[in-house]
Amino acid sequence: MIVKDKEFVEYISASEISSRIAELGTSINSDYKDKRPLFIAILNGSFMFAADLLKEVAIPCEISFVKVASYEEMESTGNVKQLIGLNETIFNKDVIIIEDIVDTGRTITKILEEFISLGASSVEVITLLQKPASNDLGDKIKYIGFSIPEKFVLGYGLDYDGLGRNLKDIYQLKD
């Protein structure tokens, strides 16, 4: 598949994604059975993952959204900018951050620091994809859908310069 000027090949199918999200939902239902978590989805990339994940969550919960940016085309800028903030208090709440991909770990580290400083009771992270560069985050990422290699991916909410978010499968840049 060609997107813009790059060739991509299917990497994770929609059925594999769906199956893994069901497993993650089961884990969250168990871990938070006596709590009412606030899910905070990081836009734009996590919108599909967040929607499908919440369909698997059977416990009382809330969801909100924030938008941050750290990418231009295919490269992380290393500069995290919060574009749209949180509209409700997270003080004394159990927060689960929904991320599409944890690549370098810079974005999620900044978000974790900010949410902890706002007085959340707990802050956990669920990510659909994790790359090896972020492995040094240790236990900061509680739920991981798939560990993937250091290759650029798109689809299922992830984009290449704004394109490809609508694809139901995840594609990897062809060698």
| Residue 146 main-chain phi, psi, to 5 deg | -145, 135
The dihedral built from the CA positions of residue 75, 164, 63 and 96, taken in this order, carries a sign that is negative
Tell me the C-alpha distance between 96 and 138, whole Å. 17
One-letter amino acid at 171 equals Y
Query: How far lies 112's CA from each of 18, 124, 140, 169, in Å?
Result: 27, 8, 9, 28
The catalytic position among 52, 94, 103, 159 is 103
DSSP class of 140: G
Q: Is 34 a catalytic residue?
A: no
Hey, which residues are catalytic here?
103
